[in-house]
Amino acid sequence: MIGLSPLLERDSTVPLYKQLYVYIRHQIESGKRQRNEKLPSIRELSTFLLLSKNTIELAYQQLIAEGYVQSRPRSGLFVLALEPVMEMVPMVCKKDSQGGPGQQERPPLIADFQYGDVELERFPLAIWRKCLMDAFRFESRQVLGYGHIQGQKELRAQIARYLQASRGVECSPDRIFLASGTQQAISLLCQLLPQIRVVGMEEPGYDGVRTVLANHRLTIVPIPVEADGLSVEALRRSRADAVYVTPAHQFPLGGVLPVGKRRELLQWAEETGGLVIEDDYDSEFRYQGQPIPALKAMDALDRTIYLGTFSKSFMPAMRLSYMVLPERLAGDFRARLESYSQSVSPLLQQALFLFMKDGHYERHVRKTRKSYQARHRTLLHAIHREMGERVGVIGQKSGLHMLLDVYGRESTELVNRALEHGIRVYAPSRHWMNPEDCPDSYVMLGFGGLEEERISASIGRLKQAWFDDRT
Amino acid sequence: MIGLSPLLERDSTVPLYKQLYVYIRHQIESGKRQRNEKLPSIRELSTFLLLSKNTIELAYQQLIAEGYVQSRPRSGLFVLALEPVMEMVPMVCKKDSQGGPGQQERPPLIADFQYGDVELERFPLAIWRKCLMDAFRFESRQVLGYGHIQGQKELRAQIARYLQASRGVECSPDRIFLASGTQQAISLLCQLLPQIRVVGMEEPGYDGVRTVLANHRLTIVPIPVEADGLSVEALRRSRADAVYVTPAHQFPLGGVLPVGKRRELLQWAEETGGLVIEDDYDSEFRYQGQPIPALKAMDALDRTIYLGTFSKSFMPAMRLSYMVLPERLAGDFRARLESYSQSVSPLLQQALFLFMKDGHYERHVRKTRKSYQARHRTLLHAIHREMGERVGVIGQKSGLHMLLDVYGRESTELVNRALEHGIRVYAPSRHWMNPEDCPDSYVMLGFGGLEEERISASIGRLKQAWFDDRT
């Protein structure tokens, strides 16, 4: 018995193999196909469904590639056990999964407010592909070998130019060091600057960095974030060697560190000999008022380590972050780095260099800034329209996420109810070193990866989930 | 005054812009052009040399790209200060730099026996480019987003298949974890397996790993490598929680760990609850006898962490290594990894998956194995021919490097004399935890990046350098 009766639309714009793949995937996900169950052979299914073998094969290959089924030599295809979801970016095939047959269980996911998702729809794929291809024109040792330990000089020169123009940060390329992500950069700091033993960390603050610091056995002192940014008073008492801050857009609360606090922070560094680690992760996206220069730009005494990333402003898949070290640390750091290999592929570095050199990067940032601004506005309007006074929005007009205070409610319930309506939102408590200090009524919405219509519709559903369907 | 009089060969196969670029670069490198000196404008030079503006521009762009000169807005091009050499792979434009004009200073580099260089001449660039382009066909979230924390499932499945076929290692893809290089993998082990506090390390052993372990503040106990591999006796006394070994090809001494020692090692792990970290970095390249399965393949009790890399067998620029964790550790490791992002670009992962799936990887390994075998044979013959009984060769017939014992001589002198003759060889003492234990007469030759003719010629020059020109 074949047991596969998909409703295939032969005149749909969705290719037949994809319809078939979505159908079978759904059967597996919904438990209609058990683990170790054998799928019909390509020939059988081709005869049964009156589809070409090629179509069946493409569908099967996709299922194999995504780990839903396994090909066992000389036996056929078998359904695999599903692992718990481990994706940073869940591989939800959004449009396809809406209208599939037989969905008694959890409704399909309509929108995922995952922080870290970025706009990919208008990503300049063709240009990026061309830059990648052009990268191959360079001497092969340059793009196929290990590359420069700090990262390719020409790319670092582009980054230096960009930092000066857009963030007011003056630095020579030889003080820039690339790493395959911000966590990797933080890890290198921990490994190569042994003078850092106690780190003050914004509370709440970015969990991804705190985990790396903790896993390097550094002592972490939580420094409370007050209405106007972290408490420099508390920092003074902490005896920290360094402090990790997000001045442009406090993560996750969303505030901008005012200039007074910035001065106090630099003064602390001067008086104690401490280091400021400034993570400028999403400063490209500010939607009103003047751009505010980086803290580093004010730092005449050169006590700030500046961190930047291409994950938000370009794409996560670059896996490329960078740090700018103070002059006094750069030499030592470079010497210690000598036993290391650069962790970013020279091929990607070369392509990014070409992309930046020809002005595509700045154009892309300008374009996405507009687009995120629209998404941000849509989100705010929808929240106001649907939820009115029942929620508070936390965070200033910048970045790719915001916190929602759903008055009098509890985040686990909010997250679960949302999921039951096909919307994924997140409890932000992991970003508190003491999670119990996170107000129970907070949920976090990352909107970078969602188009305006979807945002608008999703907030409507969230309203239903949270306020209409209470049982 | 223009001050540029290159001897350009208009009918050479080397393009004119490249001849010009090499000429100017040499002027800068040899100090004929000082820092901050202004170069003639494109128009001036074009008139003076009777070359098209395009040619001049291309040469200048290359100089800018490589950081020799800097373009200052509205002022022109200026010579930059040269940084000390920091490249892992020095950017020597080998053929071009031989016959350049005016070389009173150090002779141009003819051959660099840098360990880590690989064969790039016959690298299947066109296929690899195609795989990269094809990677873009997948859903954009899959190749532009953060990707799966452990690495893409389909690539891990290919690696699992490859490990089984070529190394006798059975593992499910969910126990495989990708990282942007072996050092990055080791760093993750240090960060996420806090039970590892004391690590036994082959003495001598790979400096790049030892540095990472030390920079994570682990205690390192050197375990002497005897004629038949590391001393399990010494390991027993060490109270190590884990031991780092290179059984397929001891780094840097080049021996294969015999089966008896392998059994003892696994027995040590069983008795003490210790972990074996097997770095199988170049096992693809064995030039005689049967392939020897990985230590991991013998490890019935699953106490071995297996490390593999694509840096040697494919290309360094992949920046992709992987580890296979024992079942009992994989779950915990995965849970701790949840706050991390994968550090290898999903785009490169997807391209590598396609490359492996279509059999290109195995073909490439077979092809390069033959080619390295020829290089290895040529190197041995040349050493025998030129140096006879005056040197001893250390290392078995595998891998991409060997040690030379130049009887009665001293490595600093050997390295310097070689450099004076345009050949770069390396002192291996950095791979000893106690560098003074490294015999003074050892030098290290990595031959992966050198063609046969160059190897042969270089050994002739080394003989001159070391034995003929003694003053």
Confidence check: pLDDT of A329 > 90: yes
Looking at every residue in chain B, the average pLDDT score rounds to 88
Tell whether A215 lies on the interface with B, counting CB pairs under 8 A. yes
Per-residue pLDDT of A451-462, as tens digits, reads 999 999 999 999
Yes or no, beta carbons of A344 and B319 under 8 Å apart: yes
Instruction: Give dist(CA B425, CA B402) in Å, integer.
Output: 11
Contact of B120 with chain A, judged by CB distance below 8 Å, is answered with yes
Task: Flag the least confident range among A61-70, B285-294, B345-354, B403-412.
Answer: A61-70
Lowest-confidence region among A29-43, B7-21, B95-109, B429-443: B95-109
Assess whether pLDDT exceeds 60 at residue A84.
no
pLDDT at A111: 93
Q: Which of A359, A365, A371, A399 lies closest to A455, judged by CA?
A: A371
Determine the residue of chain A that is closest to B321 in CA distance: A343
CB-based contact, B343 to chain A, within 8 Å: yes
pLDDT tens for residues B347-397?
999 999 999 999 999 999 999 999 999 999 999 999 999 999 999 999 878
Task: Write out pLDDT tens, residues B258-280.
Answer: 999 999 999 999 999 999 999 99
Distance from CA of B267 to the nearest CA of A (A): 30
pLDDT(B191) > 60: yes
Name every chain A residue with its beta carbon within 8 A of the beta carbon of B187: 187, 191
* Cross-chain Cβ contact B120/A144 below 8 Å: yes
Within chain A, all domains assigned CATH 3.40.640.10 are found at: 125-358
Contacting residues of A for B353, CB less than 8 Å apart:
65
Whether residue B150 and residue A86 make contact (CB cut-off 8 A), yes or no, is yes
The interface residues of chain B toward chain A in range 257-276, judged by CB-CB distance below 8 A, are: none
Window 100-119 of B, Cβ < 8 Å to A? 116-118
The CATH label, of 1.10.10.10, 3.30.1180.20, 3.40.50.10490, 3.40.50.1370, for the domain at B16-83 is 1.10.10.10
Provide the pLDDT for residue B346: 95
Q: Give A334's contacts in chain B (Cβ within 8 Å).
A: 86
Report chain A's mean pLDDT, rounded to a whole number. 88
pLDDT at position B391 is 96
pLDDT of the residue at A120:
83
B87, B145, B315: residue with CB nearest A89: B145
User: Higher-confidence residue: B105 or A338?
Assistant: A338
Rounded mean pLDDT, A100-111: 63
* B94 pLDDT tier (thresholds 50, 70, 90): very low
Kindly list the residues from chain A whose CB atom is less than 8 angstroms away from the CB atom of residue B348.
345, 347-348
- By the CB < 8 Å criterion, does A61 face chain B? no
Q: Is B180 on the interface with A (CB under 8 A)?
A: yes
In angstroms, what separates the C-alpha of A347 from chain B's closest C-alpha? 7
CB-CB neighbors (< 8 A) of B212 in chain A: 191, 340
Identify the pLDDT of residue A363.
Answer: 93
% pLDDT > 90, chain B = 67
| Residues in A 148-177 with any Cβ partner in B closer than 8 A | 148-150, 153-154, 157, 173-174
Q: Which is nearest to A97 in space by CA: A31, A161, A24?
A: A24
Are A316 and B125 a contacting pair at CB < 8 A?
no
Say whether pLDDT at A149 is over 80. yes
Name the CA dihedral angle for B435, B438, B444, B446, rounded to a multiple of 10 degrees. Answer: -60
State the residue for tokens 């020692």: B261
Best of A18, A146, A220, A309 to disrupt the B interface (most B CBs within 10 Å) is A146
Q: Show residues of chain B in contact with A125, CB under 8 Å.
A: 136, 140
CB contact under 8 A, B343 and A181: yes
Interface test with B, best of A14, A57, A87, A220 (most B CBs within 10 A): A87
Whether A326 and chain B come into contact, CB under 8 Å, resolves to no
Residue of A nearest to B338 (CA): A86
Chain B residues within 8 A of A342 when measuring between CB atoms: 88, 319
Cis geometry, peptide bond prior to residue B84 (ω within 30 degrees of 0): no
Give the number of A-B residue pairs with CB atoms closer than 8 Å: 203
Residue numbers in A near B136 (CB within 8 A) = 125, 129
Mean pLDDT confidence for B178-201? 97
In this model, does residue A153 exceed pLDDT 50? yes
Model confidence at B470, pLDDT cuts 50, 70, 90, reads low
Q: How far is CA A159 from CA A151, A166, A171, A286, A305, in A?
A: 11, 10, 10, 20, 15
Per CB-CB distance under 8 Å, the chain B contacts of A142 are 91
Q: Spell out which residues of chain A touch residue B141, defining contact as CB-CB under 8 Å.
A: 89, 91, 120
The predicted pLDDT at position A87 comes to 32
Contact B146 A64 (CB under 8 A): no
Provide the shortest C-alpha distance from residue A230 to chain B (in Å). 23
Q: Are B200 and B244 in contact (CB under 8 A)?
A: yes
Q: Which of A63, A187, A336 to mutate to test the interface with B (most CBs of B within 10 A)?
A: A187
Identify the closest residue of chain B to A142 by CA–CA distance. B91
Of B336 and B59, the structure prediction assigns the larger pLDDT to: B336
Helical packing angle, B125-135 and A125-135, nearest 10°: 170
- Whether B222 has its CB under 8 Å from any CB of chain A: the answer is no
Q: In b/e form, how buried is each residue of A389-399, taking b as 16+ CB within 10 angstroms?
A: eebebbbbbbb
- What's the pLDDT at A91? 33
Would you call B144 and A315 a contact, using CB atoms and an 8 Å cutoff? yes
Mean pLDDT of A183-199: 97
Q: Please answer yes or no on whether A180 and B183 come within 8 Å at the CB atom.
A: no
Percentage of the residues of chain B whose pLDDT score is greater than 70: 92
Topology (CATH level 3) of domain A125-358: Aspartate Aminotransferase; domain 2 (3.40.640)
Q: Do A133 and B129 touch (CB under 8 A)?
A: yes
B399 in reach of chain A (CB within 8 A): no
Residues on chain B touching A340 (C-beta within 8 angstroms):
183, 208, 211-212
Rounded to the nearest 10 degrees, what angle do helices B53-65 and B42-49 cross at?
130
Residue B73, pLDDT score:
72
pLDDT category, B105, cuts 50, 70, 90? low
Matching residue, tokens 């962790």: A343
What lies within 8 Å, CB to CB, of A388 at 6+ separation is none
Q: Chain A: nearest CA to B186, how far in angstroms?
A: 12
pLDDT of residue B87: 32
**Backbone φ and ψ of A135, nearest 5°:** -60, -30
Closest alpha carbon to A248 in A377, A398, A403, A119: A398
Of the listed ranges A195-204, A337-346, B22-31, B76-85, the least confidently predicted one is B76-85
pLDDT of residue A107: 79
- Decide if pLDDT at B84 tops 60: no
Predicted confidence (pLDDT) per residue in B17-47, tens digit: 877 887 888 788 777 788 888 888 888 888 8
A86 has a pLDDT exceeding 50: no
Determine whether the interchain pair A319/B311 forms a contact, defined as Cβ–Cβ distance below 8 Å: no
**ipTM, two decimals:** 0.78
Grade residue A65 by pLDDT with cuts at 50, 70 and 90. Answer: low
pLDDT at B85: 35
Predicted local distance difference test score (pLDDT) of residue B337: 95
Find the mean pLDDT for residues A369-377. Answer: 94
Q: How high is the pLDDT of residue A106?
A: 67
- Domain B138-359: state its class: alpha beta
CB B342 within 8 A of CB B150: yes
Identify the H or E element spanning B117. none
For residue range B163-185, what is the model confidence (pLDDT) as tens digits? 999 999 999 999 999 999 999 99
A207 in Cβ contact with A430 (< 8 Å): yes
3-class secondary-structure state, position B112: strand
Residues of chain B with CATH 1.10.10.10: 16-83
Q: Is A80:A69 a contact under the CB 8 Å cutoff?
A: yes
A152 — pLDDT class (breaks 50, 70, 90)? very high
Is 60 exceeded by the pLDDT of residue A385?
Answer: yes
- Interface contact flag, B142 A212, Cβ < 8 Å: no
Could you tell me if A88 lies within 8 Å of chain B, comparing CB atoms? Answer: yes
pLDDT of residue B2: 66
Bridge partners (DSSP) of residue A275 are A242
For residue A336, pLDDT over 50 is answered with yes
Neighbours of B215 (CB within 10 A): 22
Peptide bond into A204 cis (omega under 30): yes
Instruction: Convert the pLDDT of each residue in A243-280 to its tens digit.
Output: 999 999 999 999 999 999 999 999 999 999 999 999 99
Mean pLDDT value across residues B189-202: 97
Cα distance between residue B356 and residue B442, in whole Å: 38
Chain A residues in contact with B64 (beta carbon < 8 A): 154
d(CA B199, nearest CA chain A) in Å: 16
Q: Reduce the DSSP state of residue B363 to 3 states and report it.
A: helix
Residue B91 confidence (pLDDT) above 50: no
Smallest Cα distance from A416 to chain B, Å: 20
